């Protein structure tokens, strides 16, 4: 059976290279019993490919069971997949066969395999390696002959690094990988799919099929489709039912294309100035600068203390240059009141020698780093910005209105 026949049989629309390649691999691997891992974003149509593999294999007369691993609670998934014995847990009133026992001689499709609990992953690995499993609450080893096809939209390499998925199980499942390309990489297929869905909904709801103007078609092709084919089908249905006009223009269709992270539609570049940073960003930057300056001062203190304890200082040499850098701000000015770091006189506990002194500016810097002063300044700016409205000022500052009232009273801030 060639690719076109496969598409007609399973209702696949599109001619992109990535799609044709995925179908070709599925057909080639079908006659074998190799495990297959299908990857791709949510909504790309991964669920069709296990059916292609099953129907093109020698197991096509056997059972085909599709299991959504993400939809089964962790406490019952072992029972669902492998079965349980009577009395194995509360509510187990009788023996029950699991999906692996029911699908013996056929194919089982494990969708959202990345959501499988780690304990269940160990059980699944044993099935793949030895064709054996044990029911919950039993000690008897059972055999099964099942072809496993799995699918996921999770980044498996990342999941393995984070300890959420077993590496050995991944390699067992990934004997043959099939990747389904996202819809944004199948630009030539987007309009074909839209027309197919539009005609289907026209037949279902007994109404004329919707058509797109040139600008609407262009907008449809440039959209990034984060929800892929599922999203395209959903939007086509919405337009078919809601819009009275059967000719859809760009303005009409844009109402149905939501933005996701601001990157679904092409960005419009203008010469307008960007808005200034909001008040909260300014506050965060100010706090960061203050803490960085405080760390620099702590480093300076440690350096001076080390020189005093070891009785060595060279005010005009290396140490003086380091101190100068620590006192220097980003714009090239010095934190001290003058532009030259003056010597400081001190007595060494080890050597009683006369050294050039370095001016101690700690008191000046500590005074300028007062968090209370900065807090007062920020509160006043927020109150000025909202004309004394405390509720809005509190929201801007990220504190409760009650806390703001207390601080106004504490600092005696007048409006």
pLDDT tens digits, one per residue of 7-44: 999 999 999 999 999 999 999 999 999 999 999 999 99
Helix extents (H) in 243-334:
250-254, 279-310, 318-327
For residue 145, pLDDT beyond 60: yes
Tokens of 110: 């494990």
Q: Which value, in Å, is the radius of gyration of the alpha carbons in the chain? A: 35
Q: Which residues contact 56 (CB under 8 A, 6 or more apart)?
A: 1, 6, 26, 27, 30, 31
Spatial contact of 203 and 167, defined as CB atoms under 8 Å apart:
no
8 Å CB contact between 355 and 346: yes
DSSP letter, residue 209? P
Query: Distance (Å, rounded) from C-alpha 373 to C-alpha 384?
Result: 16
Three-state DSSP class for residue 36: strand
Q: What is residue 147's predicted lDDT score, i.e. its pLDDT? A: 97
Instruction: For residue 133, list its beta bridge partners.
Output: 142
CB 152 within 8 A of CB 112: yes
Of the two residues 395 and 360, the one the predictor is more confident about is 395
For 22, phi then psi, to 5°, come to: -65, -40
Per-residue confidence band for 340, with pLDDT thresholds at 50, 70 and 90: very low
Alpha-carbon distance of 197 to 140, in angstroms, equals: 50
Residue range 179-187: mean pLDDT, rounded: 95
- Residue 387 pLDDT > 50, yes or no? yes
353 pLDDT higher than 50: no
CB contact at 8 A, 122 and 103: no
DSSP letter at 182 equals P
Count, residues in the chain: 415
Confidence (pLDDT) at 258:
86
Q: What is the rounded CA–CA span in Å between residue 29 and residue 16?
A: 20
Nearest to 182 by CA among 11, 16, 49, 6: 16
The residues, any chain, with a CB within 8 Å of residue 262's CB and separated by 6 or more, are none
Q: Convert the pLDDT of each residue in 236-273 to its tens digit.
A: 999 999 999 999 999 999 999 987 544 454 444 344 44
Structural domains of the chain sorted by starting position, each given as residue range(s) with its CATH number in brackets:
3-181 (3.40.50.300), 184-254 (1.10.8.60), 290-368 (no CATH), 371-411 (1.10.10)
Question: Beta partners for 212?
Answer: 248
């Amino acid at each position: 059976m060639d690719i076109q026949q496969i598409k007609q049989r399973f209702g696949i629309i599109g001619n992109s290279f990535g799609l044709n390649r995925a179908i070709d691999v599925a057909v080639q691997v079908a006659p074998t019993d190799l495990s297959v891992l299908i990857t791709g974003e949510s909504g790309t149509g991964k669920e069709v490919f296990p059916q292609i593999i099953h129907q093109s294999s020698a197991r096509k007369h056997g059972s085909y069971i599709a299991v959504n691993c993400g939809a089964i609670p962790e406490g019952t998934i072992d029972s669902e997949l492998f079965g349980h014995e009577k009395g194995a847990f509360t509510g187990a009133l009788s023996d029950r066969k699991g999906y692996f026992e029911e699908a013996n001689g056929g194919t089982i499709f494990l969708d959202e395999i990345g959501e499988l609990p780690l304990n269940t992953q160990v059980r699944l690995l044993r099935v793949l390696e030895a064709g054996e499993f044990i029911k919950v609450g039993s000690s008897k080893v059972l055999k099964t002959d099942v072809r496993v096809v799995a699918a996921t939209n999770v980044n498996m390499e990342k999941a393995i690094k984070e300890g959420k998925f077993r590496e050995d199980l991944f390699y067992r499942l990934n004997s043959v990988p099939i990747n389904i390309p996202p819809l944004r990489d199948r630009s030539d297929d987007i309009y074909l799919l839209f027309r197919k869905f539009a005609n289907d909904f026209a037949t279902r709801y007994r109404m004329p099929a919707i058509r797109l103007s040139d600008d609407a078609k262009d907008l449809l092709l440039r959209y990034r489709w984060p929800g892929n084919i599922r999203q395209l089908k959903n939007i086509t249905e919405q337009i078919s039912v809601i819009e009275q006009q059967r000719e859809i223009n760009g303005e009409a269709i844009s109402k149905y294309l939501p933005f996701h992270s601001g990157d679904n539609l092409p960005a419009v570049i203008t010469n307008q100035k960007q808005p200034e940073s909001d008040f909260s960003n300014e506050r965060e930057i100010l706090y960061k600068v203050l803490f960085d300056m405080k760390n620099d001062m702590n480093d300076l203190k440690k350096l001076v203390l080390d020189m005093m304890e070891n009785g060595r200082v060279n005010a005009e040499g290396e140490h003086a240059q380091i101190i100068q850098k620590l006192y220097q701000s980003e714009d090239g000015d010095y934190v001290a009141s003058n532009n030259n770091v003056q010597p400081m006189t001190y007595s060494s506990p080890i050597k009683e020698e006369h050294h050039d002194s370095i001016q101690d500016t700690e008191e000046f810097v500590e005074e300028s780093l007062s968090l209370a002063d900065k807090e007062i300044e920020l509160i006043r700016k927020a109150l000025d910005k909202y004309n004394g409205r405390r509720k809005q000022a509190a929201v801007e500052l990220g504190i409760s209105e009650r806390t703001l009232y207390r601080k106004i009273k504490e600092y005696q801030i007048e409006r």
